[in-house]
Structure 1
């Protein structure tokens, strides 16, 4: 699906301090460079041992980095093509910082902590087999996704996503992402720390963030780490407030009933 950025009328979804190559070029928006990483010690996550490791001038430094699970080759090349083709048949909406998105989930106002069904019709049909496969992993055996967000990153748009923690009022313990079309790096950071941890995310792999990595470390995708088109699907589950015994379990039950029909279209 070709992109044309030669027209000055081309729109992006950037607001506030957010920017992409489109608005930087055609609107003259200035990108605020974050040089925090230049002052921090950089580590690389090593999945086999669960450690964040740093080698500098022959000195090796490491620490335990819990809450990251990586499943390489979660989908096959044929499945990858089928998934991306299916996404490209739907409409992509412009989003912040050069991303495009497709949402399959309820309408949420996180500031006011309100949820409504809106036009939510469920997760897409192509995700049914993927969710079944996820549950073969003990960490995800009871995973019930209630929302799916597809994101499209492109180097020609300067796509990125700033360091952030996903909401924990509505969204539950595990964040599950399937990475498609190209390798990338998820950069983990803490406000009160002096370190960055780079988590390599291979093409066609599945990543789960939970525990400390979910709640204590912000995650980001930097512009420099998008070298080719990258598409990902992130699945989120409900928090205890919306599960049996929670204050909003009835609403949670409605949301799950809709989500798991796998008949959804982007909202």
Structure 2
């Protein structure tokens, strides 16, 4: 297991279990940290947002397959809006998180293992997000998107920031995951362990290039079947992202926990929140 390292200001990093960052790796040089960079034999493709296909070139022959469930919106925010967003985030406290990330959470208190959710100190999404949410809703692919949770993440190459391949929870969080990418370009790596379609041998990876100030939404197969990750090697300068999540059907009208869902959504959309 990774033990916590110490930052320059004397505080510990946020790594737990097998997670690690450059801080704790440098502090524990005898340990072999491979959680973020484990090499695997995989079939690698690049996503084309225009055709919505994943493609590669092998021996001069192009191969591709339809890759549904990814929507990319270039230049979702302007340069001025980007500066304002990051400046507002930096006015609040960034808390150390795992794998070299820092975070700010705006959302309910959740125990995913026991499937329990309560309001806790949640008082809404931040005010600066109100215009962003309104803009999203004008896009057909994001029609009716009402986020109930927002998570800001700060990645830095000096900390070895990354996030391992994972699937987001689908008990509380709904169909669409929406992320705004700020300050630098990066690559969102989508992966499927057991292959897909004719590619039934080994791991398949699809690289989704995210430009600075772009928005990416995951839904359908990309949301529920393909894991997503940001690898350390794809963080070249400071990157800040903000991810919005909507409620699952269980918390919407007609669902078993619709009352709780309504309460959470009413709080979220006041846009008066502070990070928890």
TM-score, structure 1 as length reference: 0.95
- Does the 8 A contact of 2:185 with 2:211 survive in 1? yes
- Does the 8 A contact of 1:188 with 1:197 survive in 2? yes
- Please name the residue that 2:45 is paired with: 43
- Please name the residue that 2:135 is paired with: 133
- Please name the residue that 1:68 is paired with: 70
Report which stretch shifted further, 166-175 or 20-29.
20-29
Gap regions ≥5 residues in structure 1: none
Gap regions ≥5 residues in structure 2: 1-5, 196-202
Query: Structure 1 residue 27: deviation in Å?
Result: 3.4
Alignment of 1:217 with 2:200, yes or no, is no
- Does the 8 A contact of 1:37 with 1:196 survive in 2? no
- Please name the residue that 2:23 is paired with: 22
* Cα distance in 1 between the residues matched to 2:37 and 2:101: 22
* Cα distance in 2 between the residues matched to 1:34 and 1:159: 9
Alignment of 1:59 with 2:61, yes or no, is yes
Query: Structure 1 residue 228: deviation in Å?
Result: 0.5
Query: Structure 1 residue 38: deviation in Å?
Result: 3.9
What's the CA shift string for 1:42-88, capped at 9, x where partnerless?
A: 10000000110011220211100000000000000000000000000
What's the CA shift string for 1:99-127, capped at 9, x where partnerless?
A: 00000000000000000100000000000
RMSD value, Cα: 1.4
How many pairs were matched up?
263
Query: Structure 1 residue 35: deviation in Å?
Result: 6.5
- Does the 8 A contact of 1:125 with 1:263 survive in 2? yes
* Cα distance in 2 between the residues matched to 1:57 and 1:98: 38
Question: Within 5 Å, which residues of 2 pair with 1:114-193?
Answer: 114-193=116-195
* Cα distance in 1 between the residues matched to 2:168 and 2:80: 31
- Please name the residue that 1:256 is paired with: 265
Query: Structure 1 residue 139: deviation in Å?
Result: 1.2
- Please name the residue that 2:83 is paired with: 81
Judging changes above 3 Å, is the alpha-carbon distance between structure 1 residues 106 and 42 closer, same or farther for their aligned structure 2 residues? same
* Cα distance in 2 between the residues matched to 1:25 and 1:55: 38
- Does the 8 A contact of 1:165 with 1:218 survive in 2? yes
Runs of 4+ in 1 over 4 A off after TM superposition: 4-7, 33-37
Judging changes above 3 Å, is the alpha-carbon distance between structure 1 residues 62 and 187 closer, same or farther for their aligned structure 2 residues? same
Judging changes above 3 Å, is the alpha-carbon distance between structure 1 residues 173 and 191 closer, same or farther for their aligned structure 2 residues? same
* Cα distance in 2 between the residues matched to 1:59 and 1:71: 29
Query: Structure 1 residue 33: deviation in Å?
Result: 5.0
* Cα distance in 1 between the residues matched to 2:106 and 2:35: 32
- Does the 8 A contact of 2:36 with 2:231 survive in 1? no
Judging changes above 3 Å, is the alpha-carbon distance between structure 1 residues 45 and 250 closer, same or farther for their aligned structure 2 residues? same
